[in-house]
Amino acid sequence: MVSVPSFLLRKLYLKGSLKNNDTGFEFQLRNSLGSGYAHKMSPLELDDEVIPIQFCFFWQNNELKCFSEVSQSNTFTLAMNRDITIQVDNKNLDSKPHKVTMSFDVPGLGTLKFDFTDQIDEG
């Protein structure tokens, strides 16, 4: 099975997009690696603590979808050169740097995992 190094996957994160919102926090992914999709999402981790999956969402086609809804028939799609917003409810961030870890299962590649460290801009 082909392996995708985490340093390449880390390029999916749109640096500087981490911010608080009305429900928690969010960040953006921009796929410049190649179109793909996942048929299973794992809960996000924030500073090495697992966030319950029911608080992890993404915006796709102007619709908010929970990570737990992702399946073989309802995929998480990363279209080429398109932004996707990941949203976490019930958790606001302070201004210190935070490590976010994301993983998902991709057919033919297995589980892909990456992390990034960034901080919100309060200014």
Structural domains of the chain ordered from first start: 6-116 (2.60.40)
From CA 103, how far away is CA 91, in angstroms rounded? Answer: 19
SS3 11: helix
Q: Mark 76-97 as b/e (b = at least 16 C-beta within 10 Å).
A: bebeeeeebbbbbbeeebeeee
Q: Would you write out the chain's pLDDT as a tens digit for each of its 123 residues?
A: 567 778 888 999 999 999 999 999 999 999 887 778 899 999 999 999 999 999 999 998 889 999 999 999 999 988 888 899 999 999 999 999 999 999 999 998 889 999 999 999 765
Reported residue count of the chain is 123
CA R_g for the chain:
14
pLDDT at 32: 82
Taking a C-beta distance cutoff of 8 angstroms, is the pair 12, 120 a contact?
A: no
